[in-house]
Amino acid sequence: MGLEQELQKINKQKVIVVGDVGLDEYVNGSVKRISPEAPVPVVEVAREEVRLGLATFVAQNIATLGGVPLLVSVIGEDKTADVLCGLLKENGISEKYLTRDSSRPTTRKMRIMSEHHHVVRIDYEHRRFLSPEIQKKVLSNVKDLLPTAQGIVIQDYAKGVLSESCIQEIIREAKKSKVTVMVDPHRTTPVGYYKGADIMTPNTEEAILLSQLPIDDLRKASDGLVEVGQELMNKIGSEKMIITRGKDGIALFERSKVEYLPTVAREVFDVTGAGDTVIATLALAVAANVPLKAACELANHAAGVVVAKIGCVPCTRAELAAWCQTPSVR
């Protein structure tokens, strides 16, 4: 079956997305002089923009690809939360399962840009785990949604929403409901937090760090990535693993083999958010029972779409369909 036919299957699939959420703010302009007050560039602002960030960007990708994201997370009682909820509404994503917590701010990342170049990034956030009361609400929301969901994505940015106990409870409940669990890990989170997940999707650097294998030896060995993939599968007790490799595409691991799927990107302007697009596409495809290799191919093509854009801009269903119809990807 061709990719166009597989793409049709993902329509209307419901996928829970649970993890850290936040707002991405871009202040863009040009640098023409150095400040007389200090040796720093002066950015003359031309435009400002706010976008969905972190796990909300995964949810946005699921929505633009034709799926139904069920977003579960925690936000603050602040103006950033109000802006975030407004953007979710604009994108057809429900805020019903977002828990408000007055003790923490809603994560906000402000990027000061000169044309396509970062000048500085300013983060507003508190990195700490949730209180037992708030975590209980998060888990309750996940449990309520599982009976209607075809898949779940645990999206970890190490901001505090996902503790080990929270992740393990989500995985246990998902298994009871026979819902596939996919994890986009964070490099600083102990890999044991993800034990029991069905599929994990680290990038190469995250995979090496999470494996805890000797980095220098791995980079010298031609089969280093194979060893990393096998080690990660052993650590979380999974039969499958996907490692995203940037410009080199995707490595698909199954217990007895590894297959390399080369990138299909025609132009690369910005890789920001490509990993989020990959897991959103994979989650929809796996939820629709698309074979894993075909799911990876769809995700590869979706990543090829977004890296040709500037900033975190999602892949739409129409863009992915058009890409799949081109002779170069058949």
Per-residue pLDDT of the chain (330 residues; tens, 9 = 90+): 577 778 888 889 999 999 999 999 999 999 999 999 999 999 999 999 999 999 999 999 999 999 999 999 999 999 999 999 999 999 999 999 999 999 999 999 999 999 878 899 999 999 999 999 999 999 999 999 999 999 999 999 999 999 999 999 999 999 999 999 999 999 999 999 999 999 999 999 999 999 998 866 655 554 678 889 999 999 999 999 999 987 788 999 987 789 998 877 555 545 566 789 999 999 999 999 999 999 999 998 888 887 666 667 788 888 888 877 764 444
Q: What DSSP character marks residue 193?
A: G
**Both tokens assigned to 281:** 């596409």
Q: What are phi and psi of 280, to 5 degrees?
A: -65, -45
pLDDT, residue 303, reads: 84
Integer angstrom CA distances of residue 89 from 94, 113, 115, 127, 148: 7, 27, 29, 26, 21
The predicted model scores a pTM of 0.91
- Give the count of beta carbons closer than 10 Å to the beta carbon of residue 196: 16
For residues 189 and 166, give the distance between their C-alpha atoms in angstroms, rounded to a whole number. Answer: 13
DSSP β-bridge partners for residue 28: 47, 113
pLDDT, residue 330, reads: 40
pLDDT, residue 200, reads: 97
- Closest to 102 measured CA to CA, from 131, 138, 140, 124: 131
Task: List all residues 6 or more positions away from 253 whose beta carbon is below 8 Å from its beta carbon.
Answer: 226, 229, 230, 233, 240, 241, 242, 243
For residues 149 and 271, give the distance between their C-alpha atoms in angstroms, rounded to a whole number. Answer: 29
**Both tokens assigned to 95:** 């805020």
Tell me the catalytic residues.
276
For residues 28 and 243, give the distance between their C-alpha atoms in angstroms, rounded to a whole number. Answer: 33
Contact predicate 15/68, CB 8 Å = yes
Write the CATH number of the domain with boundaries 3-21+55-105+127-329.
3.40.1190.20
Q: How many helices (H) and strands (E) does the chain have?
A: 11, 13
